[in-house]
Structure 1
Amino acid sequence: MSAPEVQHITSRDNAFLKDLRRLAQDNTGYRKQGRFWAEGEHLGAAALARHVTPAIGVFSESFWPLAPAKYAQAAIKSIVIPDSLFAAISGLESPAQMGFVFDLPLVAALQPVMASVILDRVQDAGNVGSILRSASAFGFKQVIALKGTAALWSPKVLRAGMGAHWGLQLIEGVALADLALLAVPIVVTSSHRGSYLHQAIANQALPMPCAWALGHEGQGVSAELEALARLHVRIAQPGGEESLNVAAAAAICLHASAATSLVG
């Protein structure tokens, strides 16, 4: 295997750095470029652990001499830039000093029988990333993002997902009509309607595999999507809160399905 190409760039007007800045700071920039930016050792290690090869490695000048070989040699090409330029590109309060540019995965076809999560206009990047992490942890390997949901490969969602992206099949910009392709039952979370989750578990009424539908932070799941659901479920809250954060609700519901399948 030949040694990776190493290029030193010092001009902030360099075309590659301009593109990288857009990837790092524009939530939907990856859609135009067909690539996305993952900053920091944690995300890089998560990708490499799943044998995902980055297109380009980017390192600050101060970190480059210290970079472990697994990062320095991960991509065919590595770019080294002054610390000040890396800080100007970084989306972090404390720049990580390294990151990778990855080619955006090819658009996957919706898998009808795969355990899935449907995101219905979930807009907060932190919530979306957290849901992706729970989906990966609990065996829901397909995430279907309806139109209006936060950009799945944006830097903020990537950071919140903490590496979960590389264990999932992600499908963006899905229309409600496309859900007709699903062969698994849709289960909708609600704060006011349906069986309580613990009752569904006790009655063995929780289907698996299934597709959990999680809705907009304020409006919840749309009426049109609710109409497609086979089961409506709410989470008991004996402490008296009106509702749960959508990411917290997702973790509870996805864990319940996973636990049910393990027991069954």
Structure 2
Amino acid sequence: MSSATVLHITSKDNPVLQRLRKLSQDGGAYRKLGSVWLEGDHLVRACLQRGHAVTQAVLTEAAAADPALRALAEAAPRMLVVPLALFKTISGLESPAQIGFEVPHAAGQALTPGLDSVVLDRLQDAGNVGTILRSAAAFGFRQVLALKGTAALWSPKVLRAGMGAHFGLRLIEGLAPADLDALAAPLIATSSHAEKQLHQIVLPQPCAWVMGHEGQGVQAELMARCALTVGIPQPGGEESLNVGSAAAICLYESARQRL
């Protein structure tokens, strides 16, 4: 028997729904409000599987009548049941997923030295950021360090692109290049001018792969801190790779050598 408190809400002016709208519509609102909005059963399941704390569940009346979705919602200490029309006002999707969680967000974590990491240098595209988080989690990189100017890691768009990877990673934002000195692991960047190609080098373990801005690449101050630069073979002759694709290749090679 669930011990969750169940509340039925029918007013669009309810203060909880007003807060959730801000979290859904403003990618950086979680930094001010201290909460994150997760929409959809996939993100909700990923959150629960990793044992992440949950503040409350929000679900439509139809979802509350669905045994599987209601069971997910009952993992939260409080359930808010709303009409579909109200759920649509807090949804960031064209087709609302009908269930979501509000979860607490803890800011201000310190980076962990000596941990395999990925550094994001002012990446702007939420899809790229989420893709890199998925690759990091898949290939055993447990820490992602975002420099100032990078897309908000816990924004709804990055969360959707990450597909649950957030809950298996240490995510630290708002860093400056000098903060990475505390990492105590060599930084590696890719470069089309590098003398050695990725497959020709024994990669350091642990290490931190640096992924730069989509248009400008890695900033000079950060590149100067890199102990190693490598090239990615591109026999097809393309000038460069999408940063998400480049990250997946580099992280895979590190994981391959580690194993």
TM range (shorter): over 0.9
Within a 5 Å distance, the mapping from 1:12-91 to structure 2 comes to 12-68=12-68, 69-91=70-92
The match for 2:216 among 203, 215, 219 is 219
For residues 71 and 2 of structure 2, the distance between their equivalents in structure 1, rounded to whole angstroms, comes to 14
Partner of 2:207: 210
Q: Secondary structure at the match of 2:58?
A: strand
Percent identity, aligned pairs only, is 59
CA contact (8 A) 2:53 2:103 kept: yes
Within a 5 Å distance, the mapping from 1:142-153 to structure 2 comes to 142-153=143-154
For residues 173 and 187 of structure 2, the distance between their equivalents in structure 1, rounded to whole angstroms, comes to 18
Does residue 237 of structure 2 align to residue 240 of structure 1?
yes
Post-superposition, which runs of at least 4 consecutive aligned residues in structure 1 deviate over 4 A? none
For residues 83 and 229 of structure 2, the distance between their equivalents in structure 1, rounded to whole angstroms, comes to 54
For residues 258 and 98 of structure 2, the distance between their equivalents in structure 1, rounded to whole angstroms, comes to 42
CA contact (8 A) 1:25 1:91 kept: yes
Q: Secondary structure at the match of 1:253?
A: helix
CA contact (8 A) 1:120 1:146 kept: yes
Deviations 1:113-141 (A, max 9, x none): 00000000011000000100100111110
For residues 51 and 91 of structure 1, the distance between their equivalents in structure 2, rounded to whole angstroms, comes to 24
Deviations 1:163-215 (A, max 9, x none): 00000000000111111112110001223334211222xxx2x1111000000
For residues 214 and 67 of structure 1, the distance between their equivalents in structure 2, rounded to whole angstroms, comes to 43
Within a 5 Å distance, the mapping from 1:157-196 to structure 2 comes to 157-196=158-197
CA contact (8 A) 2:87 2:98 kept: yes
Deviations 1:28-73 (A, max 9, x none): 0101110000100000111111112311100011211114253121
| AA aligned opposite 1:259 | R
Going from structure 1 to structure 2, the CA distance change for 1:29 and 1:194 (only over 3 Å counts) comes to farther
For residues 138 and 105 of structure 1, the distance between their equivalents in structure 2, rounded to whole angstroms, comes to 25
In the alignment of these two chains, the number of paired residues is 258
Compare 48-57 and 210-219 and name the one that shifted more: 48-57
Does residue 89 of structure 2 align to residue 92 of structure 1?
no
Q: Give the TM-score normalised by structure 2.
A: 0.96
CA contact (8 A) 1:113 1:183 kept: yes
Q: Secondary structure at the match of 2:62?
A: coil
Going from structure 1 to structure 2, the CA distance change for 1:81 and 1:208 (only over 3 Å counts) comes to same
Query: Offset at 1:74?
Result: 1.0
Query: Offset at 1:257?
Result: 0.2
For residues 181 and 71 of structure 2, the distance between their equivalents in structure 1, rounded to whole angstroms, comes to 44
Compare 52-61 and 28-37 and name the one that shifted more: 52-61
For residues 15 and 160 of structure 1, the distance between their equivalents in structure 2, rounded to whole angstroms, comes to 28
Q: Give the TM-score normalised by structure 1.
A: 0.95
| AA aligned opposite 2:84 | D
| AA aligned opposite 2:241 | L
Deviations 1:59-101 (A, max 9, x none): 0112111142531211100101110111121111111000100
Compare 50-59 and 100-109 and name the one that shifted more: 100-109
Within a 5 Å distance, the mapping from 1:68-147 to structure 2 comes to 68=68, 69-147=70-148
For residues 184 and 70 of structure 1, the distance between their equivalents in structure 2, rounded to whole angstroms, comes to 43
The match for 1:250 among 243, 247, 250 is 247
Going from structure 1 to structure 2, the CA distance change for 1:249 and 1:256 (only over 3 Å counts) comes to same
